[in-house]
A and B are shown apart, each in its own frame.
Chain A
Amino acid sequence: MSERELTCGIEIHQQLDTKKLFCNCESTLCDEGYGAVYRKLRPTVSELGEMDKAALVQHGKDVFFTYQSCKGSSCLGELDEEPPGPLNKDAMETALTFSTMINADMIDEVHYMRKMAIDGSNTSGFQRTALFSTGGYVEVGGKKIGILSVCLEEDSARKVEATAEETVYRMDRLGVPLIEVATAPDMETPEEVMEVALKIGNIFRATKRVKRGIGTIREDLNISIPGGARVEIKGAQELRLLPDYVRNEMERQKMLIRVKDILIQRGVGPSEFSLEDVTEMFSKSASKVIKGALAEKGKVIAVKLPGFAGLLNGDNGKLRLGSEMAQYARTRGVKGIFHSDELPNYGIEQEYVDSLKAHFGLSSEDAFVICAAKEKRAVDALRVSVERANQAIIGVPNETRDPLPDGTTRYSRPLPGAARMYPETDVPPISITDDMLDRIRNNLPEFPEEIAKRLVSTYGINAQQANQIVRQGRDELFVKISEETGMAGIAATLITTAYAELDPHAIPDERMLETFRLLKANRFSKEALPSILKELAGGSDVEGAICKLGLEAVGCDEASEMIAKIVKEREDFVRSKGLDAIGPLMGPVMAALRGKIDGKQANDLLAAEIKKLIG
């Protein structure tokens, strides 16, 4: 058998729509937090295996976190001020239901564990998690994808502010139940990765106990290619970007393999980390970055990389080791680095490049990197940059990477070692009895395939549309629209075409429903639906969209004219009150328009006319 071009497994974290896992708090997020509790977390002796005094000093003296409480969504439990309560029954049933739906074997007796994490994301310094089932699978495109484990765990606290001095977490998200599903590394193409994620997402939604919307489901991707390394992309939230992340990561690894081959061909060995303070040389540089750094009493430090020329940024941007090095450097608190493959640029002129090359005695195959910042930071940033460059000789490093909105990823940290887990002694073991499982099996919700069949038989749409609606997770929306307006055919077409191309979170369900209500009321024709959707996706409400698109008898222009007249008639009043005149004028405006546009719209138009008048 030929070697697979891609080996990929996914870990999916889905928030449940229940109360919190070990307390009675609501699992909703809050716009505001209150209080500021100062806490330190220390690596425990057992965690380190043995005493590492340097690490203890570091943690004892420097690292602290501040926690905000939230009304309704956090209590003494989240603040690590009281023992956990009993495991939430709804969450547990959802984990068992999901496990049953993916044909997994349930664990006989579930034991909660403390997974250590001292980055502040958990007030306790650990996450409570337990393994519920193993050995499940889903079928996607006729292929079995193994599900190694299903765990039920607590979500972490939300980082709301991070400065150099402190990290502030809000505890609303802490303790929200999460089901964590880990697949086997069975996926072989970027498209398959998305299909599997969609499939698992659909089964989650079928339980009707999961949260919806952005941030409620997060995917970690484990990716490797032949000759590459295992890289984890952690916390992807946009399902439709998954194939891009995979594809881009495959390309990135292939590029790094090419870089490695060239380095070996050139016979390049690891670069020494010998720094040069070139502040004096750059003292008159016009570069903004360098000027800025020097103004803050920083230094310009340079280091040479013999044999690396053309690899940092070469072959028309196809070789990009420099950008990898810059990502490492930025983890040390600098804005970036400059390397010889990208210079002259950024206000650094050829004469500087030449004098640096002369200073180092570089040949055409040699490269250099400079960093302008406070000395300690610059040195640190260059050290990791050179380490990263030297790593390229060995190959692709194992990394954890952050997903970015453009489908690419950025280095965040090395792959963590095996999780350190200890029993959560405050939670008694939970026996999963045959009775419980029988009850779950006898009350399983509709599977996605069954939902699709129901849509076909009840609403008369075709099977392909029904399957796609379910795959998109829009079946509930479709049913609502069809039930209320009877426009199943139009809804099915719209959801599977124009709507499918939009960000699934951009238009609230209620607004979609409203659109169909107004369509039914003949406010516009069905041909206008795709354009209206575009407006809605841009944040407009339905009335606003109709108005803007000029779909109604009384258009905005007509309304504006009438309002302008009213404003003009009361010019003195408007001039004296400014925008405060809106309130008093709303009466006459609404009377004149006789309900042709709604209040919000009238309000906006009135404000616009007043602004026009008073300048």
Chain B
Amino acid sequence: MSYSISISKRLEAIGAKEGSRLSVASRGKTFVGTLMPHHEFSGEDIIILKLSSGYNIGIRILEDSDIKVLGQPAPVLKRDILLEKKAGLPNITIIGTGGTISSAADPKTGAMQPQHSSAEFVSGIQEITDIANITVKAAMAIFSENMNADRWKDLAEAVAEEMNNGADGVVIMHGTDTMGYTASALSFMLGDVPKPVVLVGAQRSPDRPSSDAPSNMTAAVRFCAKGGAAGVFVVMHEALGDDSFAVHLGTRARKMHTSRRDAFKSPNTGPFAVMDKDGNTTFKMEGRAVSEGKAAAATKMEKAVTLIQYYPGMDPKLFEDVIMKSKGIVISGTGLGHVGSDMIPLIRKAVAGGTIVVAASQCTEGTTSLNVYSTGREMLSAGVITVQDMLPETAYVKLMWALANSDDTDEAKRLMMTPLANEMSGRRVADV
């Protein structure tokens, strides 16, 4: 319950636990209610009760406060949830990793639980069970800021296994903060995966009636079930309403807003497809057809790769240690991909030591080019490579993968500069 030590002791001494019905008399007032867990920001001397009106209140406990247990909570029975199989529907596996889409408040205490039972959540979305035969698996239960290369590996292997065991598509429930990174990692690890793999998240948790989780999930399952294209994608709201959805290429999706439902955009390319509330899908570009091949996961990753954002006045001395320890560096540079001249000697030294230095742009939209200005030309001379309009975070993930899946630096560089999963392009359409 995480109450302070002194409060916990008093509660334990009288046998009070979360859910117990208590009478608390303090400072001349008496309240009767159900004991709630402590809130992180609640005062140390506060006990939280849920009154019969439904309101929670915090009561300050003093030495002479009187706390009595009036009753104990009845045990809650958990029921198994079985999803029926229907003939003629495609088989879709939903893998849970955590994040907002997989979190929910405990209905009794209101505490946010790190893991909502994936099966429970999915069975609440009646629509998807009419679209596909759904199998739910929980791979992990973490907030997406805690994702890393090892977890990408686990996830890629889980996807390949599901697909090779007959799944017609795999949907991954993921926290939105780093969903773009994971989508990129899976794009490179799974290569020419034969079926759709869709990452889906939510900006409002499923315990809220207004959650975007059910509609995003429905759109994701529909996209998989239609089998319109193979590859790794991200599906989220296209706009603020619950009636339009965007399907993004895994290597192109980026979270562009901290809280809006339509936070995900595809800079430079726009979405791969859009879908309306009834599932009608409009493809905006040509995709790779679904096939019957096997899925294979190339999951090796070089972890000594860093992603650095250049800023005016960046002091090379502060970064020397980091840069010299890295086997690959992506610099999110200014404009066309620049860093200040002060940084160039350090970059030259790193390249000479065998480090790959990739220039990307913090502009997000547009391509990089180091040929236009003298600083850029100096960077090229120092050995920096550019990767067209690849997003900095995609470049970071790809560099980890390229270093680990090539025999030498040159091959890794060549991989970096070759499009593998639609992550880069030499052509951007004039949006006029």
- Listed in ascending order, the chain A residues whose CB lies under 8 Å from chain B are 37-47, 49-51, 53, 56-57, 60-61, 64, 76, 79-83, 105, 107-111, 113-116, 118, 123-126, 129-131, 134-135, 149, 151, 418-423, 425, 428-429, 431
If A46-B107, A425-B110 touch, whether A113 touches B123 (CB-CB below 8 Å) is: no
Residues of B within 8 A of A51 (CB): 123-124
Which chain B residues numbered 49 to 75 have a C-beta less than 8 Å away from chain A?
51-60
- Determine the chain A residues whose CB is within 8 A of the CB of B57 once the complex forms: 107-111, 131
Task: Name the distance in Å between A586's Cβ and chain B's nearest Cβ.
Answer: 49
B107 and A108 contact, CB distance less than 8 A? no
B5-13, B186-194, B235-243, B382-390 - interface stretch: B235-243
State whether B209 touches A44 (Cβ < 8 A): yes
Q: Are B260 and A76 in contact (CB under 8 A)?
A: yes
Q: How far is the CB of B245 from chain A (nearest CB, A)?
A: 12
Can you list 11 A-B pairs with a CB-CB distance of less than 8 A?
A: A42-B214, A45-B121, A56-B126, A109-B42, A111-B57, A115-B54, A124-B210, A125-B209, A422-B207, A423-B110, A429-B41
Q: Smallest CB–CB gap between A612 and chain B, Å?
A: 54
B291 lies within 8 A of chain A by Cβ:
no
Would B56 and A111 count as touching, CB distance under 8 A? Answer: yes
B126 and A53 contact, CB distance less than 8 A: yes
Asked if B317 is at the interface of the complex by the 8 Å CB criterion, the answer is no
Residues of B within 8 A of A79 (CB): 240
Identity of the chain A residue whose Cβ is nearest the Cβ of B28 in the assembled complex: A105
Q: With A111-B58, A125-B208 given, can you name 14 additional A-B contacts, CB distance below 8 Å?
A: A46-B104, A47-B107, A49-B107, A80-B210, A81-B240, A109-B42, A115-B54, A124-B209, A126-B209, A131-B57, A151-B55, A418-B54, A423-B56, A423-B110
Residue of B with least CB distance to A428? B41
Residues of chain B lying within 8 A (CB to CB) of residue A429: 39, 41-43, 46, 58
Q: Which residue of A lies closest to B277 (CB)?
A: A38
**Cross-chain contact A131 with B53 (CB below 8 angstroms):** yes
Q: How far apart sit A243 and B330, CA to CA, in the bound complex (Å)?
A: 75
Contact with A81, one of B48, B110, B208, B261 (Cβ below 8 angstroms): B261
Complex interface residues of chain B between 113 and 149 (CB less than 8 A to chain A):
120-121, 123-127
CB pair A123–B58 under 8 Å, yes or no, is no
B204 within 8 A of A: yes
Any chain A CB within 8 A of the CB of B259?
A: yes
How far is A149 from B52 in the complex, measured between Cα atoms in Å?
13
Taken residue by residue from 96 to 121, chain B's Cβ proximity to chain A (1 for < 8 Å, 0 otherwise) reads as 00000000111100111000000011
| 0/1 interface trace, chain B 368-412, chain A, CB 8 Å (1 if under) | 000000000000000000000000000000000000000000000
Contacting B241 at CB < 8 Å: which of A37, A42, A108, A129? Answer: A37
With both beta carbons as reference points, the residue of chain A lying nearest to B239 in the complex is identified as: A37
Q: A81-B261, A108-B46 are in contact. Are A44 and B207 (CB under 8 A)?
A: yes
Q: Known A38-B242, A40-B242, A428-B41; judge A47-B209 contact (CB<8 A).
A: yes
Cross-interface CB contact of B60 among A108, A125, A149, cutoff 8 Å = A108
CB atoms of B46 and A39 under 8 A apart:
no
Instruction: Specify the chain A residue showing the minimal Cβ separation from B129.
Output: A53
From residue B276, how far is it (CB to closest CB) to chain A in Å? 10
Give the top 6 A-B pairs by smallest Cβ distance, nearest first.
Answer: A125-B209, A109-B58, A46-B107, A421-B54, A423-B110, A38-B241
8 Å CB interface, B179-237 against A: 203-204, 206-211, 214-215
**CA A76 to CA B257, docked complex, whole Å:** 12
Q: Kindly list chain A residues whose C-beta atoms are within 8 Å of the C-beta of B127.
A: 60-61
Q: Is B210's CB under 8 angstroms from A125's CB? A: yes
Check if B422 is an interface residue, CB within 8 A of chain A: no
Residues of A within 8 A of B105 (CB): 46, 422-423, 425
By a beta-carbon cutoff of 8 Å, the part of chain B in contact with chain A is 26-29, 36, 39, 41-43, 46, 48, 51-60, 79, 104-107, 110-112, 120-121, 123-127, 203-204, 206-211, 214-215, 240-243, 258-261, 277
* B48 nearest CB neighbor, chain A only: A111
Knowing A38-B243, A39-B241, A109-B60, say if A44 contacts B208 (CB, 8 Å): yes
* A422 and B59 form a contact (CB under 8 A): no
Whether B107 lies near A37 (C-beta < 8 A) is no
Closest to A427 in B: B41
Looking at A43, A113, A149, the one whose CB has the most chain B CB atoms below 10 A away is: A113
CB nearest neighbor in A for B40 = A428
Roughly how many angstroms separate A420 CA and B104 CA in the complex, as a whole number? Answer: 16
Expressed in whole angstroms, the Cα–Cα distance for A114 and B112 within the complex equals 14
Greatest chain A CB density within 10 A among B26, B241, B261 is at: B241
Smallest CB-CB separation from B31: which chain A residue? A134
Give the distance to chain A from B205, nearest Cβ to Cβ, in Å. Answer: 9
- Given A38-B242, A57-B126; A113-B208 close (CB under 8 Å): no
Partner of A130, one of B43, B55, B204: B55
Chain B residues, CB < 8 A from A57: 126
In the bound complex, what is the Cα–Cα distance between A238 and B29 (angstroms)? 36
Residue of B nearest to A135 (CB): B29
Residues of A within 8 A of B28 (CB): 105
B209 to chain A, nearest CB (A): 3
Q: Which residue of B lies closest to A149 (CB)?
A: B53
Name the residue in B53, B56, B211 with the highest tally of chain A Cβ atoms < 10 Å from its Cβ.
Answer: B56
Given contacts A60-B127, A111-B56, A425-B105, contact A39 B242 (CB under 8 A): yes
Bound form: Cα–Cα A46–B265 in Å: 32
CA distance A68 to B53 in the complex (A): 33
The residue among A43, A83, A425 with the most chain B CB atoms within 10 A of its own CB is A425
Q: A51-B123, A116-B209 are in contact. Are A109 and B59 (CB under 8 A)?
A: yes
On whether the beta carbons of B124 and A45 are closer than 8 Å, the reply is: yes
Question: By the criterion CB–CB under 8 Å, are A107 and B112 in contact?
Answer: no
Contact in complex: B209, A108 (CB < 8 Å) = no
A125 contact set on B, CB distance < 8 A: 208-210
Which single member of B107, B241, B259 contacts A76 (CB below 8 Å)? B259
> Chain B: which residue is nearest A421 at the CB level?
B54
**Please, which residues of chain B bring their CB within 8 A of the CB of A110?**
57-58
Complex contacts, B29 vs chain A, CB 8 Å: 105, 134-135
Q: Which residue of A lies closest to B60 (CB)?
A: A108
For A61, what are the chain B residues with a Cβ–Cβ distance below 8 Å? Answer: 127
A82 touches B209 (CB 8 A): no
Give every chain B residue within 8 A of A428 (Cβ-Cβ): 39, 41
B55, A111: Cβ atoms closer than 8 Å: yes
B27 contact set on A, CB distance < 8 A:
108
**Does the CB pair B54–A80 fall under 8 Å?**
no
Q: What's the minimum C-beta distance from B93 to chain A, rounded to whole angstroms?
A: 21
B210 contacts A41, C-beta separation under 8 Å: yes
Interface centre among A44, A113, A126, A419 (most CB of B within 10 A): A44
Q: Decide: B54 and A56 in contact? CB cutoff 8 A.
A: no
Given known A76-B260, A81-B240, A105-B29, contact A118–B209 (CB-CB < 8 A): yes
CB distance from A253 to the nearest CB of B (A): 26
Determine the distance from Cα of A37 to Cα of B112 in the docked complex, in whole angstroms.
Answer: 28
Residues of A near B59 (CB, < 8 A) are 107-109
Q: Which of A37, A46, A149, A419 makes the CB contact (< 8 A) with B240?
A: A37
| Smallest beta-carbon distance B64→chain A, Å | 15
Query: Chain A contacts of B215 at CB under 8 A?
Result: 40
Most buried by B among A61, A124, A422: A422
- Say yes or no: B46 contacts A109, CB within 8 Å: yes
Docked complex Cα distance between A107 and B53 (Å):
14
Q: Which residues of A contact B241 (CB under 8 A)?
A: 37-39
Question: Which residue of chain A has its CB nearest to the CB of B29?
Answer: A105
Q: Please name the residue on chain A nearest to B259 by beta carbon.
A: A82
CB neighbours of B120 from chain A (8 A):
45
* With contact pairs A45-B124, A125-B210 given, residues A419 and B54 touching in the complex (Cβ less than 8 Å): yes
Which B residues are in CB contact (< 8 Å) with A49? 107
A429 to B55, CA, bound (A): 13
In the complex, which of the residues A56, A81, A109, A123 contacts B259, with contact meaning CB atoms closer than 8 Å?
Answer: A81
Cβ–Cβ < 8 Å partners of B277 in chain A: 38
How many Å from the CB of B389 to the closest CB on chain A?
A: 29
Given A43-B209, A60-B127, A124-B210, A111 contacting B39 (CB threshold 8 A):
yes
With the chains together, A563 CA to B261 CA distance in Å? 63
Tell me, in angstroms, the Cα distance from A50 to B107 when the chains sit together. 11
Specify the chain A residue showing the minimal Cβ separation from B262. Answer: A81
